[in-house]
A = this chain, B = another copy of it.
Amino acid sequence: MNRLQLIEQIQQKKSFLCIGLDADLDKIPAHLLSFDDPVFEFNKQLIDATHSYCVAYKPNTAFYESRGVEGWKSLEKTIEYLNQHYPKLFTIADAKRGDIGNTSQLYAKAFFEALPFDSITVAPYMGEDSVKPFLAYPNKWVIVLALTSNKGADDFQFTSTDENEKQLLFQKVIRKTSLWGTDQNLMFVVGATRPEMLLEIRKLIPTHFLLVPGVGAQGGSLKEVAKYGMTKQCGLLVNASRSIIFADSSVNFAQSAAVEAKKMQQEMSELLSEYSANEN
């Protein structure tokens, strides 16, 4: 999927919601456990119920790998289902991969070919040759971890760096990594739990899309993210996982998820009017 198609989706749906398909087998509704593949069934029903309110789906691979081969099968069925039934939705493999060049090529093959996702999250620690192989695929995206939403982000990401005392490591990551691609094939992860950093980040990358986790269960504010991070063309994909997909553990879980997704979409619609549409 290219940038224009993504922006069109956002404008049509008045939403920049990404739903995290973090299908924890211990948390999905009990009645699904009788299905051959309960996790796929959970995802399928969620997707069917929520697709009008979001523009992207993001399975985190950990939830699938923790179930071994069976989990990998559920992930494969999920991306196939999405591509077949909802090809206009943007898909993100939240895999946080990264390895030396020839090995990252194989991760690109894993998540752009074997599992045909539109994008993958990538860890920057190993540098350019670990990121570039993903960028060689046309209409595919790399989403680089910059400033994550967790407590551990403090440990290294806020380290002051050499070239400029005021440049923190995550800013160096953004500055340097943004030279390896364009706003047509690169996005950055910036946690909603640090909205005050978004103004500084927008000085470095005024037009790139940001994938923003941390709204909802982790405590980030959607309004603040939009206020500080939104661009003329939106430039945001805000993820919610647990607050939507585990809104309800009854047989009505998918409808309850749709209600939560719709609430977020409505809030997003207002934020788009306030911070984005007027400038178009």
CB pair B162 A148 closer than 8 Å: no
Residue-wise, chain A 118-132 has the 8 Å CB interface mask toward B (1 for contact) of: 000001111111110
A177 → chain B closest CB, angstroms = 8
CB pair B153 A127 closer than 8 Å: yes
Cβ of A65 within 8 Å of any chain B Cβ, yes or no, is: yes
Cβ of A110 within 8 Å of any chain B Cβ, yes or no, is: yes
A residues contacting the other copy or chain, number (CB 8 A) = 58
Listed A/B pairs (20) with beta-carbon separation below 8 Å: A60-B99, A62-B103, A65-B111, A65-B114, A66-B106, A66-B109, A66-B114, A67-B110, A69-B72, A71-B110, A96-B126, A100-B148, A124-B125, A125-B145, A126-B148, A126-B153, A127-B156, A128-B155, A129-B150, A161-B162
Given A156-B124, A159-B162, check contact A150 B62 (CB 8 Å). Answer: no
B residues in contact with A129, CB < 8 Å: 150-152
Cβ of A169 within 8 Å of any chain B Cβ, yes or no, is: yes
CB pair B110 A65 closer than 8 Å: yes
